[in-house]
Amino acid sequence: MTRPNPSFHLLYIVSSPPSFLCNSSIPLLNPYKRTLLLGVRKTMIHVSEKPPPDGRYNFKVDNWVNKKKTALYVILRPGLGEFLKAAKKASFEIVAFTMWPQGLISDILDQIDPSRRIIYIPLLADTRHPF
């Protein structure tokens, strides 16, 4: 049996929202709509604290760790925009899951979906992560 590559995170497609969404205070647009739960890091984007060697990145965001400001270089996964648009057109409710702080994920999602018409809501884990 082949083991999955740990550098890839799965995306979850469910016919109804997972129970942890239903039991949370997160307001869903339509509880009967199919939900696409996407992990932000490694599924939607790649992030590095250093500029890529070839200098190619999509955008840069500021991150604060222990009152120190650092830059994060963000590379969108190939085809991400087209994938999100196709999922939205197929009537999925798209939820972005992350362990990052609210401010950081808001800055990133503002770059990916400025109008917030595709990604409905970020789902934040109740934990802190350095980036």
DSSP class per residue in 53-87: TT---SEEEEEEETTEEEEEEEEEPTTHHHHHHHH
% of the chain surpassing 70 pLDDT: 67
79, 108, 45, 47: CA torsion to nearest 10: 140
Q: Which residues pair with 74 in a beta bridge?
A: 47, 59
Tens-digit pLDDT profile for residues 83-119: 999 999 988 888 888 888 888 888 999 999 998 888 8
CA dist 22 and 73 (Å) reads: 34
C-alpha count within 13 angstroms, C-beta hemisphere, residue 41: 17
Average pLDDT over residues 38-67: 89
Lowest mean pLDDT among 14-18, 27-31, 41-45: 14-18
CA angle 4, 39, 98 (to 5 degrees): 130
Are 47 and 63 contacting, i.e. CB atoms less than 8 angstroms apart? Answer: no
**At 14, which helix (H) or strand (E)?**
strand 12-14
Which tokens hold the place of 124?
A: 């934040």
Task: Determine phi and psi for 81, rounding to 5 degrees.
Answer: -60, -45
Whether 75 shows a pLDDT value over 50: the answer reads yes
Tens-digit pLDDT profile for residues 30-39: 667 788 888 8
Question: Quick one: pLDDT at residue 2?
Answer: 41
Average pLDDT over residues 17-46: 69
